[in-house]
Every structure is written in C-alpha cells, then in structure tokens.
Structure 1
C-alpha cells in the first residue's frame, strides 16, 4: 500500500447491488442504459451529500462509508425510493431495485498516494472482516431489501427518530441467526424498510448463507431415528472441519512469496517454488497471483524484480493487488527428514494465521510433500474436501518427477518474463525436455512463447506434442491446450469450448482477453468483445493495461470516441506502449494528425515511423495515394525478403487495392500478381492460418468487380464454393455474399443484390463492405432511399471503418479507401 494503514477504526459500511443490471443493459441498449446510469450517478451523489457518505468503490453496486449507522440507513432508504422513482421516469417495464447490507465494525483505512490514484487506484482503501460481512448481508438480501447486522440494528433503531415522521413508520424485523461462509461465528440478521417498498420477508438461503437452526427445528424427516443419527454424524463431521481463520472466499486471490530453502541444496529453490505454484494452481477455489503480476507490482513499487518476496514485501503486494492472503513456503531438514511447510499470512497485520507442513525422507520426497501441503492449504482456506480430492493430480503427473527438469523449467519461465532472448528461453525449455521427454507442460509453455511471437506453425506443433501426453497435464492445462488448437482450426467450436472453460475457470483473464480478440477478428462483434474484456479489468491481472487498450479499440468500433480515448490514455499513462495504432486512428478521426503521429511514434511498433499495413492505412486515410502505394510496395519487398508468406500476400493485396481503387499503378497487372501469389503460396499460408487463401481469393474477386471484370468475379466465387471456411468463419462468409452481390450488380440485377445484402446490413456484426456494396447496388437500381441510408451509415461509422480487422485483415485496405473518399478537403493534409 502507498501509505501505512492506521489503527482499526469503527465505521458503518453500506454495500448495495443493482438487481439484474447486466440484463437491463442488454435489454435497453448502450445509449438508454448510459442515460439511466448517469441519472443513477446523480442520485447517488445527491444522497451522499445529504447523508454524509463517502463512496469507496462502485461497479454494479456501491460501497460507502458513514460515521453513524443512521446515516447509512437514511441513505439506503432514500436510495431504494429513488431507484423506484428513477425506473418510472425512464419508463422501464420492470421496477428498478437494489439489495443492501448495513454493518458496523472495525476497518483498516489508508489513503493511496496521488501517483497510485493516477494509475487507477482508489483514493481510499478499506479492508477488514467488516467488509465481507456487509457483503454477505447484501448478497443475502432480496430485491428491495435492506439487511442489518446485530451490531448495526440497535444503533440505527435508537436513532430512527432522527428520520422524522418516516422513522416512526419503519418496520423492523429479526430473522434469527445465520451462518455466512468464511465468517466463523453465526450472525443475527435484521431487516428494516418502508411498507410498500421493502420486501419485509425472510431472506432465501444461498450457497454462502444459511439459517443457523437447532436440530429440533429442521425438516420432519429428521424425526426418523436413522436419519437423525446420520444427520448428527454429518453435523459432527462439519464441526470438526478446520474453519478459515481469515475471511477467505471462493475465487479469492493469494500471493505466493519466495520459497525459503534452509537445506543448502541449490536444486530445491527454483524447482520447489515452481512446483508449489503448479500444485496450488490446480484449485478452482484459490486464485494465485501470477509471477508476472508480482513482478509488475514490484516495478510499480520501484523495487528490483529479483528482490526477495518475504513477509513484509509480500503483504504489501497482496494489499496493493487485492489478494486476501500471503503464502510463504519453506523447505528445511528437521530430524533427518525433509520438511515442506507453508505459512498463511494475513497481509493487514503480517501475522501468521496458521501453518501446515509435510515430512518426507530425502529430496525425492519433496514433490509428494508439496502436494500434501497444498491440499492442506486448500482445505484450511475453505475449499470442500471432495473438490480438493477431485482436482488434485500428483505433481509428477502434472509436471515432472525430475527435480532437475523442474529447475530448468522454472529458469525458463523466469527468463521468459525478464528477457527478450528467444533462443535462450527455448534452450532452457529444451533442456527440461532432455531431462524428461514427457514433460508436457514444457511443450505447452514453448507453444505459448511461439504464439506470442506470431510463430503460429511452431506453436501448434508444440501444443500437439503436449496434448499427445494428456496424462501429464492437469485438467485445466489439458483443456487450455485443446482450446488453443481449436482457435486455429475451428473458431466456432472454439467459442463454444471457451464458454465451457470459463464456466470452470472464470478468472483466467488471458483466455477472456483472447476470446474478446477473437470476437473482434472472427465475428466482427465489438459489443461482445467489450463485455468480455471488461471482465479482465481486475487489479490481479498483469496485462490490465493491454486490456484497457483493447477496450479502447472496441469502444472506438462502436463510435464511442471519448470513452475510447479515455481508455487509450489510461493505458498509455500506466506505462503500456507496445503498440498504439488504434489510439492514433482515434486521433486521426478528429483531425489531430500530428498528435496521432506523436502517439504512434512513441510506441514500440512506431519508433521507425509508419511501416507495413499501418503505413498503407495511414497514407490512404490522409488522402496521399502515392505514399500509400509506395508503402505497400516497401512492405511487400520486406515481407518477401523475410520469407513471411502471410504478410507477403496481404502486402500484395494492399498493392492491388491501391492500383484498383486509388488508380496508383497497373490495376490488372497488380491483381494478376495477387492471384498468382495465392495460387503459389496457398498451401503454405493455409497451414499457418486456414481461412487465409479463401479470404484473399474473395477479396481479389471484390477488386475484380471494381474493374468490371465479371470473369474474375466468377472465378473467385468458383474457387471458394463449398469451402468449409465459409461455415467456420462468419466474416469470410459475409465477404462471399458481398462478392455474389457484386456479381449480380454487374449482371444488371441490382435488386437481387439489394435483396441479398439488406438482411446482413441490419446486423451489428455486418462488415463495412456489406454496407458499401449495398450502397453501390442501390445506386445502380436508382433506389435513392437505400443508397442515402448506407451513405449515412458509412459517414456515421468511421470508428468501425478504421477498427474493423477480420481474419486475414485485407478488408482494412478497402475500408481506408472508403474513409479517404469521405474526408473533407481541409482534412486531407497533415
């Protein structure tokens, strides 16, 4: 944390949650929902001022602090009434309601530094057991219900007269004692509300809250002697189970500190620390903060990345990143035996909550001991024993029985996080595989490295090798490898598989981000991409700044320019400068070309100026066709010199686009060269990316249509007819419909082209090319209404035009030309 927390202070906490807010946004649409939430924010601000509350956090709900319980209750009552009135004003077809939990307890408060706040941190941090207890009350409440703890109720009840006449009409109810998951003691639950507004009925049991009833009041079936005995036995079993000594909930996060090796054996340090992580990460109950995130946080703390993460430093990392506990593993020799142990540290106090250990004989016992220790930890943190048993696979099976191979693997992972030396990292992974040829996790890691470098063929090869040894992968890792292979082979099956995977592992932020990108590239669905990437905006994600950049892209594709620029700015201010093309495009759309150059040239991709496809886009948008054509030729020459078959084909498509649409060169010759390249390299390119040659062939057909070459259009359609790519890749299927419509237009059947394209154009996921081709067909048919509507669509969707980036991405060049054609004369120069 940025400043030391003060001693615990007693405060009133109010947590609220807006009921069914996600479904409400989906039903209303973005613009009406935004208007609703702006009105909601005005209501909250007014009530804060009235009741002297401090807003700490917000998402679908609110977390507020008050000095007195009566202030918190007054806010809650007015909030419930205000929501109902707001729903009426907005003419919603359902009541606008929230649930609320009010509790009084000790909390730790500290102010974040101005630098941390600028980086996205909250001004005030609040922690302590009182916070999850208020959260449990809120989650238990029915819609429109305000639940109070036994601490808050008498204090608020005594002061109710301060609410005036309304305070005398309030109904106060007690619902007895309840058990909350993660809270050791049963809690008395109360409700207060206004008749006609409040639920005023018993809360319903949830998986995390249930009534603490005596046995004699439980269902009548317990009267049977056998079931009574069984029930008592089960009850006794639960009473003997260890309860978490900190308020740890399912999917909470932990920081794993550096392993202390007290044996003097250097083989154990890196190897066992990595083994501890691998074993613990099998849990779907406990989330482990990644090594990369820990390194990122250390950098923000201005600490060296190799500094020892001990009790003090690990606690600070946990508090900064919202982790509930710090785990400190140790390996030592005790009485001639090898002991592996782990302490669970409360990061607020840096005290040991409890410790677990396992002993074994000799170094070879270490991996089994780690499995034992992590199983104990998971149970102590509250995970059900049957889940631990179900998901725990012994380390030799999910990693390697060889400590030397595990050490090489750990070194490779560390190098991958700290160096750009590809061969050095791959060399260490290969060393691990020499020591254990069946080390499937090493193959999976190598595949990830290749994929991150754009080396698709090598990545697929390594993933297939990993999957060929399924017994040596954890269930999660096996599903992940299958998912990655599907991404390249069958995207629609990939989307279905990803949903199943994320239902089990909802906090796998990288998969969420990847799925968002695929919704953008393969489905042209900016709204779905936005919803997915928003789920990754968590302090525990090491790539949150990349997520913010991608969110900016998806917002720009929905014409939400101010929001997009805000996300781009936040990403850049936080330190991300890996690429910045879409940030620059957003500025270009506002005519800020110099600022766009400054932003792009300050990124890793733009330090040598505009290059490759980005250069072609830039000079086309800025209405400089000669420079765009030169950039396309330079890009083609470089791609062919590098042997990059994918970029070479795309560059030829860019050259052909400039020749056909911007009249920069011999159009028919450029198109012929593009088709020859597709024929020559199709097998190689499709092995890297299956839809590649089909999309390029259809794009060539589209360019042929612009030349009036009906034979070229027919050939493109003939060569792609019946392709499985059209079934698996929706945007490629849309492109074929565009080419078919162009064929109909050239044949003097523009009405048939209109009939083909209008259903597609009515969808949010329609390609820009669909609207463009519909405009052309309507003009040919003399249908001014349709032509004008499509012209207006193109003029009002400039953000979509620059961000659309599907499959092989060749449609970007057509889009850039469309945008240049719209440009005002005064905006055509830098």
Structure 2
C-alpha cells in the first residue's frame, strides 16, 4: 500500500484499475442466513486484505465488489487471479460455488484525499475519478461469472509481463473478444479475456444496453469466432512448446479420469464424437486404465450433482478422481489452426488441480481429428511410462472405429443413452451410426448388447454374426469381449475359457472379472470365483453395487454368512436393492429367520424372483402352507407363458404342492413339456437354463416316484443336447443328467448303477442334489457310515443349498428341504407324498 504515491488533486496519474463484483451475493445471503453470510464475508475481507498487501494494491472501495488501484498492470492481474482462486477455495469449504467478474484497465486518474472530518462521517479516505474508472466498470459489468476482461492496453502490458507470475503465467489463456462500444464513450475498444486453462470461461460476453459488440457488416460472425479460437489456440500452442517437464508418480494399471473435451473449433459435431474417440484410443492401452463415463456419473451423483448436461471441468474431474482412486486427470482440447486440427491434453494432478504436463499433436487430411487423437494418445501413454513399442502398436482410430465423424457422434450419443438406461433410444443411435458406416464394428457390438438386454435374441444373434465378421475392425479389448459373448451365446462350454483369458489380459476390466466369477459360481467353484469377485468390486468398477452383490453370492456359497450379509448390505446401500435377497438367503442359511423375513419384506411389489427365496425360507421353517402361497404368488406375476420365469414358477409350485401332500404331477408335466419345447426354439438365450430346468423336473419326478415322466424328460433333453451348442461339455448339465439317471436307477432297485452314475461328480464342486442321491444310494446299499458322511456334508453346506443358481435357483427349495433332513427315508417310490 505504501508503494502507491499520494498525488495532489488535479495531477493525473497513470494507474491500473481493477473492479470486481461477487456474483449473486444477495442470493448468497438469503441462502446462508445473516450469521453464516457475515462469517463468510469476514473471511472474504481477510482474503482481500492479504492479497492486497501481497500484490501492492490499494483498496479504494468495497461493497459487493472491489475497486483497487495498482502501480503496475501485472500486479492487478495477479490479484485478480489469486482472488478468483481464493473464492473457489472459500466456496469449496462450504459446498458453494463462489465466482466473481472482473474488469482490468490502465488509464489516467485523478486522486485526492478527503479531510479527516469527512472520513469520520463516512467518506472514503481516497477518492478516484477519471475516464479510466467507468471503462473498468463497463468491462467488469460485461464479464461473465468467473471471467476477467481487459482493455487492449491492459492486455498488452500484462501479457508482456506475464512471466513474472511464474508457472501460473505459463498456464494462462488469452483471447480477444473483438471490438465493443460502451455507452457514453466515443470510440470503440477491443476487449480481451485472460484466465487459467480449464478455469476461465473463454466465451464471448453477452451484449448489454451499456455495451455491445461492434461488428463490421463485411465480417461474418462465424469467421470472427474462428479467428478468436485461432488466436487463443496459438497462445496455448506457444505455451505447449515452452512447457516445463515435471513428473507424475504414475504406475502401470493406474487410473485416469477424462474431463469433457473443450472444442475451440466452433464445429459442434466434434463435441461428443472426439470425446468418444479419445476414450477409445486411450482404452487400447493395457498400461493406463480409464475411469468410465458411467463411473464418473455415479461419482457426480454421490457428490449430489445432476450429471445430465453438467460440464466435467478440471475441478469436477479432480474430485471424481479423488473419489475413485485415480492418479491423474486428463483435460482434452481440440482446436483448428490454419486448417489443421490440433488436439491437446493437459495432465492434471487431482490433489492440486495443477498441470503436470501437456501433450499435443496436429492432424492433417480427411480424418485429421482422429489422426491427431491417435498421435497425442501415443505421446501421452509414453509420457505416463508405457513402453514406446506397445504405445505405438495400437491401431489407428479409423481402423478400429470409423472415419466418419457423423457416425462416431451417433455412436457416442448411443453410448450415453445406454449408460442412462434408455436402451431402445440407444439402439436407434447405433443404427444411425451403421447407416453412416456399415463397417462400424463397435456399433454392431453395441447393438448385440442392447438386443439381449431387451430379450430380442433373434436380432441379437443376427447383429452378433455381423459383428463377428467385422471383428478385425475392433480394438483388441472389444474384440476379446465379442469373442466372450460369442462363446456365451453359441458355445457355452468354451465361455469360461474365453472370459478367463480376457480377465488375465485386462485385470482391471470389471465385465471380464464379473463374467469369470459368474461362470465359476455356476459350476460351484466358489473358492475360485472369490478373487474375481473381489477384483470386480474395485474402486473404479462401472457397477460396484453389482460387484458387491456378486461377492455376497460367492461368500454365501462358501458358507461365510456374515461376510455375505455385509457385502449385500453394501450393495444395497450403493443402490442395488435386489441384494435384499442375498441378505435373506444368508440369514436363513444361518437360521436367523427374523433377519431373513425383514430383508424379504424390503422387496417392493410383486416379484417372481423374490418369491423363490420366500418359498425356500418358508420351507426351511416347515411352514408348508405359506410356502405354497409364495410359490403361487410368484407364478401369478411370472409374466408371459412363453417366458422362462413362467416355466420355473410352475416347477416351484409343484415342489410346494408336494410338501402339502398334494399331487404335483400335472404341474410337473406342464413345466417339463414347456422346457423341452423351449429347446426347439431357434436363438433362445435360455437354452442352458431350460435344459437344466427340464432335468430338475425329471429329478423331482423320479423322487416322487414318477419314473415314466423322469425317463421321458431325460430322453428328450439328451436327444436335443446333441444338437445344441455347448450343452455336451457343460458340467452342470451332465451332472444333473447323472442325478436324474441315478434316481431312475434307484426306483428300479439298481443301487450300483445309481452309484456309478454320480461317482464322477463326487468331488469338491458337487451339486447339492448329487450328494442327496449319493446319500440315498449308500443307505440302500447298507453303507450307514457313507450315508452319514453325506448327511454331514449336506448339513455343513447350507450356504450352498441357497447359493446354487442353475436354472435361476430352480432347485433352491429342494436343496433347502434336504439340508434339514436326517438320513433319507425312501424305502420305495410312492407318488403324492412329501419330498424324501
């Protein structure tokens, strides 16, 4: 403050004037209340005093805004930048968004001191007047929130001295917003904007009654915007070439968050398309992991922000990174420079929101944008530590996506709709992408996913065949994903191997980890599934709630009931309400029926899936009438008679009827016949489930003494298995076939044949019903010790009784009933009685 000399009145002095205005200050007081607002403004005044002393400025006036004088323009700019940063920090500490507009001008002013008597009655100690003051005021009023506007003379002097600001000076963007006319001033003035990369709005101000854009008739608005972008980008480019070279502690398989791309070209078509292209290019790396857009949206929701239409800037991207465990933030920018496309990426430390380094590249030719992205991605990966040979081995974007920017934009819009749960609209965008480029393999693969979500197997398989024919045009990871789903749908006996290979190649790709775990669980290999489920729950997983639910199922199968309940509670807290079913199963398995009933009561509305657990828990407690009611309720809401859920519900009612000493024959025949008929439907995605449901009906029919129905179903299903892909090598299918055959042999009195049937499956991953029929065979063979050993096995694995999920948990009720049995008392096959 002592650095500003005290001139006499009538002695004009050249000074820098800075005027600021705290945006929406009145609404802020109303929102916070008087006391909290007063505390905030006291901290604000402390900030201003500190920055004023630091920048050698003199505070002339303050209310909602500030008027300061500086000897040098660079000191005024330094104050303005520090003031904006200080406001962000004050607001962040209170969950507020504090922004100020600022106007900076250099001109002559008159200053004079008021008398002590005038000061005592409220006058300012120092008065400032002159044309420079209203000019600065007009600039400030014109600025957008968070924007610093300068006059041409102020811009010239500050840009020349910007090196005095140190590293901050290297991060500044300068942009001309053209010539403006201010009310009451005879000449026009060029207006500039200055601010830090990623923070300044970098948008032209809006005209007002007191300030308006002066555009010659011969100048087209589009041309002016392009020119301003070129000017700003050239400055950025100069900074890129003189950037410092700090390092970042980035290791292999660390995560990055990608902020929204800033498009300075004026071509809105590039907004979504290049953002998507940059992600695809970067995701070819097995060294760098990219937090998905879906995961970013989830983080924004947890931050209580609406992700729809929200610009993920440096600040938001940094907070997402801190929440998701990412090491770096990437802020991409695209600009047009002299007809060439320049793509730049700022690598930001999320803890400090400061740039670590910047990479950039230019593209030329018809697909200039995609070429520039490829080049900048390679350099970025190398700078983050990836070996050059692997970074450069990635295939060009036009080869693994499309050379059509329009098709890429349609694909990006489809991805956005799919991630938001609007699958039907997503398909429309994917179709549009394919119309624009029929060779766009990623769009075909996306359609496969959508059709199967919508249960349109016929369309899904057709899209799958096209995607397979174009697999050479997919990025490596997506090519493996396509192969996994191809095996899943057309050769299920090979699916586990395909997913396991993908999980090994991409250990941080949650879908691969999920699918390996599901496959292993389906074969009762819960111990092997555990590490994959744990991996799928990683902090950067797209769907952590689904991963937690899967982990609960694995722990249930391993008999860790408390661990299963804890994981399911976490999944439910994260939004996956279906995990209430896992809580119920684990609680019932440990015989905490009160908790089980409580968890099931949390399932809102009629639910054909929850009816399975309700029926099983009732059977577990010997409440047969209630079990039948729950099973019937599940049948009532099971949907179309063509649906698998309807066939399964019929079977569940049959089991409940048997426990009520009712004859289940009609329902068994109906459920079995429907399952067999479903195997003849081309393109059915429920082939394995229907085959296993039919076998389960055969097992139950044999246990009820209906050997004829059991034989008929076993024969018909076995004949079809030879024609259906994947069934012959499926362990679960073969094991359930052996169990059905064993019960048929027992009914015929051939104990030795029964034992031979199930002997190959008496291992660590036996199914529950395999051990049940083995126990009965040993009893009939007079092997009391062996039968007792099987009984102990069954009782010690109540978690498995609930956790096995062949044919959608269709055998759960039988398993649970058997877990409570003593030695099976089944001396002869009799129809119309309770389960043995």
Short-chain TM bin: 0.5 to 0.7
Corresponding position: 1:698 with 2:699: no
Q: Distance in 2 between matches of 1:658 and 1:574?
A: 34
| 1:174-200: CA deviation from partner (whole Å, max 9, x where unpaired) | xxxxxxxxxxxxxxxxxxxxxxxxxxx
Give the 3-state SS of the residue equivalent to 1:247 in structure 2. coil
**Counterpart residue number, 1:624:** 623
Corresponding position: 1:293 with 2:290: no
Give the 3-state SS of the residue equivalent to 1:587 in structure 2. helix
| 1:23-51: CA deviation from partner (whole Å, max 9, x where unpaired) | xxxxxxxxxxxxxxxxxxxxxxxxxxxxx
Kindly tell me: are residues 394 and 465 of structure 1, through their superposed partners in 2, closer, same or farther at Cα, counting changes over 3 Å? same
Kindly tell me: are residues 729 and 384 of structure 1, through their superposed partners in 2, closer, same or farther at Cα, counting changes over 3 Å? same
Corresponding position: 1:471 with 2:468: no
**Counterpart residue number, 1:401:** 403
Query: Equivalent of 2:344, from 341, 346, 360?
Result: 341
Q: Cα offset for 1:502?
A: 2.5
Q: TM-score, normalising length from structure 1?
A: 0.65
Q: Distance in 1 between matches of 2:686 and 2:335?
A: 50
Q: Cα offset for 1:281?
A: 0.8
Deviates more, 1:687-696 or 1:737-746: 687-696
Q: Cα offset for 1:291?
A: 0.6
**Counterpart residue number, 1:304:** 306
Q: Cα offset for 1:800?
A: 0.8
Corresponding position: 1:712 with 2:714: no
Give the 3-state SS of the residue equivalent to 2:260 in structure 1. coil
Q: Distance in 1 between matches of 2:428 and 2:783?
A: 64
- Asked whether the equivalents of residues 608 and 645 of structure 2 are also in contact (C-alpha less than 8 Å), the reply is no
Corresponding position: 1:683 with 2:680: yes
Corresponding position: 1:777 with 2:774: no
Q: Which runs of 5+ in 1 are unaligned?
A: 1-112, 114-241, 824-830
- Asked whether the equivalents of residues 776 and 787 of structure 1 are also in contact (C-alpha less than 8 Å), the reply is yes
Alignment of 1:133-148 (within 5 A): none
Q: Which runs of 5+ in 2 are unaligned?
A: 1-91, 93-243, 824-836
Q: Distance in 2 between matches of 1:618 and 1:700?
A: 21
**Counterpart residue number, 2:654:** 656
Kindly tell me: are residues 385 and 244 of structure 1, through their superposed partners in 2, closer, same or farther at Cα, counting changes over 3 Å? farther
**Counterpart residue number, 1:812:** 812
| 1:421-454: CA deviation from partner (whole Å, max 9, x where unpaired) | 3322222222222222222211212222344455
Kindly tell me: are residues 425 and 746 of structure 1, through their superposed partners in 2, closer, same or farther at Cα, counting changes over 3 Å? same
| 1:499-543: CA deviation from partner (whole Å, max 9, x where unpaired) | 32223212111110111011112x121111112111223211132
Q: Distance in 1 between matches of 2:757 and 2:375?
A: 63
Kindly tell me: are residues 610 and 554 of structure 1, through their superposed partners in 2, closer, same or farther at Cα, counting changes over 3 Å? closer
Q: Distance in 1 between matches of 2:443 and 2:641?
A: 28
Give the 3-state SS of the residue equivalent to 1:687 in structure 2. coil
Q: Distance in 2 between matches of 1:448 and 1:580?
A: 27
Query: Equivalent of 2:666, from 669, 692, 696?
Result: 669
Deviates more, 1:576-585 or 1:605-614: 605-614
Q: Distance in 1 between matches of 2:718 and 2:571?
A: 44
**Counterpart residue number, 1:159:** none
- Asked whether the equivalents of residues 768 and 801 of structure 1 are also in contact (C-alpha less than 8 Å), the reply is yes
**Counterpart residue number, 1:138:** none
Alignment of 1:84-163 (within 5 A): none
Q: Cα offset for 1:634?
A: 4.6
Kindly tell me: are residues 614 and 532 of structure 1, through their superposed partners in 2, closer, same or farther at Cα, counting changes over 3 Å? same
Kindly tell me: are residues 476 and 589 of structure 1, through their superposed partners in 2, closer, same or farther at Cα, counting changes over 3 Å? closer
- Asked whether the equivalents of residues 298 and 304 of structure 1 are also in contact (C-alpha less than 8 Å), the reply is yes
* Structure showing greater Rg: 2
| 1:430-486: CA deviation from partner (whole Å, max 9, x where unpaired) | 222222222221121222234445555544333322222223211221121011110
Kindly tell me: are residues 361 and 748 of structure 1, through their superposed partners in 2, closer, same or farther at Cα, counting changes over 3 Å? closer
Q: Distance in 2 between matches of 1:275 and 1:642?
A: 41
Q: Cα offset for 1:354?
A: 1.9
Kindly tell me: are residues 587 and 494 of structure 1, through their superposed partners in 2, closer, same or farther at Cα, counting changes over 3 Å? same
Query: Equivalent of 1:255, from 247, 254, 257?
Result: 257
Alignment of 1:723-738 (within 5 A): 723-724=721-722, 727-738=728-739
| 1:128-176: CA deviation from partner (whole Å, max 9, x where unpaired) | xxxxxxxxxxxxxxxxxxxxxxxxxxxxxxxxxxxxxxxxxxxxxxxxx
- Asked whether the equivalents of residues 414 and 426 of structure 2 are also in contact (C-alpha less than 8 Å), the reply is yes
Give the 3-state SS of the residue equivalent to 2:764 in structure 1. coil
**Counterpart residue number, 1:211:** none
Give the 3-state SS of the residue equivalent to 1:806 in structure 2. coil
Q: Distance in 2 between matches of 1:732 and 1:586?
A: 26
- Asked whether the equivalents of residues 619 and 627 of structure 1 are also in contact (C-alpha less than 8 Å), the reply is yes
Q: Distance in 2 between matches of 1:609 and 1:481?
A: 31
- Asked whether the equivalents of residues 510 and 542 of structure 2 are also in contact (C-alpha less than 8 Å), the reply is no
Alignment of 1:376-395 (within 5 A): 376-390=379-393, 392-395=394-397
Q: Cα offset for 1:568?
A: 1.9
**Counterpart residue number, 1:488:** 489
- Asked whether the equivalents of residues 500 and 512 of structure 2 are also in contact (C-alpha less than 8 Å), the reply is no
Q: Distance in 2 between matches of 1:290 and 1:656?
A: 46
**Counterpart residue number, 2:761:** 760
Q: Distance in 1 between matches of 2:809 and 2:490?
A: 18
Give the 3-state SS of the residue equivalent to 1:741 in structure 2. helix
Q: Distance in 2 between matches of 1:624 and 1:458?
A: 45
Corresponding position: 1:278 with 2:276: no
Q: Cα offset for 1:364?
A: 4.5
Q: Distance in 2 between matches of 1:812 and 1:686?
A: 27
**Counterpart residue number, 1:99:** none
**Counterpart residue number, 2:95:** none
